[in-house]
Amino acid sequence: GDISKGVTRVLVTHHVHVLARCDKVIMLEDGRIKHYGSFEELQAQGVDFAGAVDFDGEEEITNSENEVQVPEAAAKSTDKADLKEKADMKEKGENLTTKEEREEGAVDGSLYLKYAKAGGTITFFNMFAVAGVGRGFEVFAAFWLAFWAKRSVESSLEGMTLSDDEHTYYLNIYAVLGMGGVACLALRAVCMSLHRLRASRLLHEELTQSILRAPVAFFDVTPIGRILNRFAADMDKIDLDLTQSISQGSSTTFSVIGALAAIVVATKG
């Protein structure tokens, strides 16, 4: 276009099929210029572009006419040498990339603290506090229902029945306790959502900054798929699996604590 008109553009490539579109072609070997000229000029000189294209057609014809049959044993030895050379090159190529580091064993507690700070420490611990209060409402509601039933049985044994006002009183208290448990569950879900969004946003920004500021050597030895996994699979674990694990863990913990507390109270120690 007009913007790049009159501007010299340098294309560094190993794709031979685009060389015909270039005004000048420079071939480098060992850091020095080996061939220079237009694509047609180099083609006329019979230059072999890194073995990708063979332009010396006449020499091929001559060689094919004077072709001498190679012994079968020599051909086999040549094939074995080529296979060995390819295997060595493949092994060297694999050694260029660094092996992915994996932590094994239990997760360090400092990582949980870092995750808690990423989303807000107060919000993180409020999740557990609200979950504990909600479990307390549920346990107390069960005890209140038992107390209501006991009062009803005692009144029946005495030849009396609870009045409508007394039933309404017990029912209102039970309803308040039930609604309190539901409200705590809803509040815990809100706290978890806020914490998850903040933590995910901050960790994603830190990951992006680390990748953008990484030296070029890092991308030479690190496969692109490994980098994409950090943004895809690993972030998915933080967004979904980690939050679900924390939710299930806290629910199980407070359920056990609530059951133990109920047993202690019911048996009076």
pLDDT band at 44 (very low <50, low <70, confident <90, very high): confident
Dump pLDDT digits (tens) for 192-243. 999 999 999 999 999 999 999 988 888 878 888 888 988 888 888 888 888 8
pLDDT band at 56 (very low <50, low <70, confident <90, very high): very low
User: Alpha-carbon distance 269 to 254, whole Å?
Assistant: 19
Distance from the first to the final alpha carbon of the chain: 88
What's the whole-number average pLDDT of the chain?
Answer: 80
Q: Is pLDDT above 70 for 49?
A: no
Identity (one letter) of the amino acid at 177? L
Give mean pLDDT, residues 5-23: 79
pLDDT band at 68 (very low <50, low <70, confident <90, very high): very low
Dump pLDDT digits (tens) for 89-145. 555 555 556 676 776 777 777 888 888 899 899 999 999 999 999 999 999 999 999
C-alpha Rg value of the chain to the nearest Å: 38
Q: What is the pLDDT of residue 87?
A: 64
Q: 3-class secondary structure for the chain?
A: CCCCCCCCCCCCCCCHHHHHHCCCEEEEECCEEEEEECHHHHHHCCCCCCCCCCCCHHHHHHHHHCCCCCCHHHHHHHHHHHHHHHHHHHHHHHHHCCCCCCCCCCCCHHHHHHHHHHHCHHHHHHHHHHHHHHHHHHHHHHHHHHHHHHHHHHHHHCCCCCCHHHHHHHHHHHHHHHHHHHHHHHHHHHHHHHHHHHHHHHHHHHHHHHHHCCCHHHHHHCCHHHHHHHHHHHHHHHHHHHHHHHHHHHHHHHHHHHHHHHHHHHCCC
State the Cα torsion 239-242-247-248 to the nearest 10°.
130
